[in-house]
Structure 1
Amino acid sequence: MDWDWKYAGDILPDLLDGLRYTVIATLAGYVIALVLGLVWTLLRRTPSRVFNQAIRWITEFIRSTPLIPQLYFVFFVLPAWGVTIGSLTAGIITLGIHYSTYTAEVYRAGIADIPRGQWEACTALNLPRSRVWLDVILPQAIRRVIPTLGNYLIAMFKDSPMLFAINVAELLFAANKAGSVSGEFLEPMTMVGLLFVIVSVISSILVRRLERRYATT
């Protein structure tokens, strides 16, 4: 089967438009994952053992469930309960919630890695609890886990084609649509792979630069 450069050029704008939705879904979902993951982590540190275990089992359930059934639940099941969400929004929310359970474990490990002396110093200085977390603990913990958090951004980008399952017009959706119309899938699917590689490599380089600048060992 020969490569058709003209056909590849014709479908490139549609693929780039799909890539735009892929990037939007990934970045928006990543913001949710970062924020909600920190919320999960802090809730796990509450004194109530019952509440602590409830949060633990919720996050464990989400983390142990495949992403596609979660997408189907949010997009197809929730409307039956009166909650209708657009496909892109549903994809962003589901990606964010799913990956928040992973970032929560990353934050937890970063906090656990803070030397005990830091906590004791805060106690000795009688710092308010809010200052302990915002000025002492979290800045150090987050710097320690920047590499892992960055890796989850790339992982989320590579999982974004699953949004095809709920008809989000992302990159794979655009490629499949182009192939279905023309009957030729070599060019669109190959270009999808190349675009994913290009964006992943660029993201990896940016994450490594961020790591060298801010992360600690």
Structure 2
Amino acid sequence: MEWDWSAVGDFMPQFWDGLLVTLQALALGSLISFALGLVWALLMRAPSRFVRWPVGVVSEFVRNTPLLVQLFFLFYVLPEWGVTLSALTTGVIGIGLHYSTYTMQVYRAGIEAVPAGQWEAATALNLPRVRTWQVVILPQAIRRVVPALGNYVISMLKDTPMLMVITVLEMLGEARLFAQEHFQFTEPLTVIGVAFIVISYLASLLLRSLERRLVR
């Protein structure tokens, strides 16, 4: 089978639409997962087990069920309970919530890696607990976990094609639609394969640069 450059040209408008949706889902999903993951990590350090236990149960449940099942539940089951969201919003929430249970563990590891002397110094200086977290613990913890968080960004990127099952036309969805309409599969699928590689590589470079800056 010969490569058809005209098919690539015909696909490009749909590709750019799909790329925009993919990047939106990735950016917003990452923000949700990073923010929620930090909240879960802090709640898991709460003195009361009545806080820690529910958070632990929910996070384990989310982490141990497939993202695909969660997307189906959010998109098809919640409307029966009166909660209706757009497909893209559902996908962003699904990805963000799912990966927040992984980033929670990353934050926990970073917090536990902060030397005990830092806590003791903050106590000796009579810093309030909130201030201790803000200026002593979290800056050091987050600096340690940036590489791991970056890996999850790339993982989220590779999971965005799952949004196709809830009618979100991201890159793979657009490629599949084009292929079915024109009976040409090689060109659109190759284009999005290259796009995923390029985006992943650029993201890894950006995260590596951020890591070096934080180290300095």
CA distance in 2 between counterparts of 1:58 and 1:215 reads 34
- C-alpha deviation, 1:12, in angstroms: 1.1
- C-alpha deviation, 1:192, in angstroms: 1.0
- Return the letter of the residue paired with 2:4: D
Matches of residues 61-140 of structure 1 in structure 2 within 5 Å? 61-140=61-140
Q: Is the 8 A contact 2:72 2:166 kept in 1?
A: yes
Corresponding residue number in structure 2 for 1:29: 29
CA distance in 1 between counterparts of 2:103 and 2:215 reads 16
Matches of residues 49-60 of structure 1 in structure 2 within 5 Å? 49-60=49-60
- Return the letter of the residue paired with 2:86: G
Corresponding residue number in structure 1 for 2:186: 186
- C-alpha deviation, 1:54, in angstroms: 1.7
Unaligned runs of 5+ in 1: none
- Return the letter of the residue paired with 1:13: P
Worse-superposed segment, 83-92 or 4-13: 4-13
Q: Is the 8 A contact 2:179 2:185 kept in 1?
A: yes
Q: Deviations over 1:16-42 (max 9, x none)?
A: 210110000010000000100000001
- C-alpha deviation, 1:50, in angstroms: 3.2
Corresponding residue number in structure 2 for 1:12: 12
Runs of 4+ in 1 over 6 A off after TM superposition: none
CA distance in 1 between counterparts of 2:215 and 2:158 reads 24
CA distance in 2 between counterparts of 1:82 and 1:10 reads 40
CA distance in 1 between counterparts of 2:215 and 2:174 reads 37
2:159 is the counterpart of 1:159: yes
- C-alpha deviation, 1:203, in angstroms: 0.7
The count of residues paired between Structure 1 and Structure 2 equals: 216
Q: Structure 1 length as normaliser, TM-score?
A: 0.98
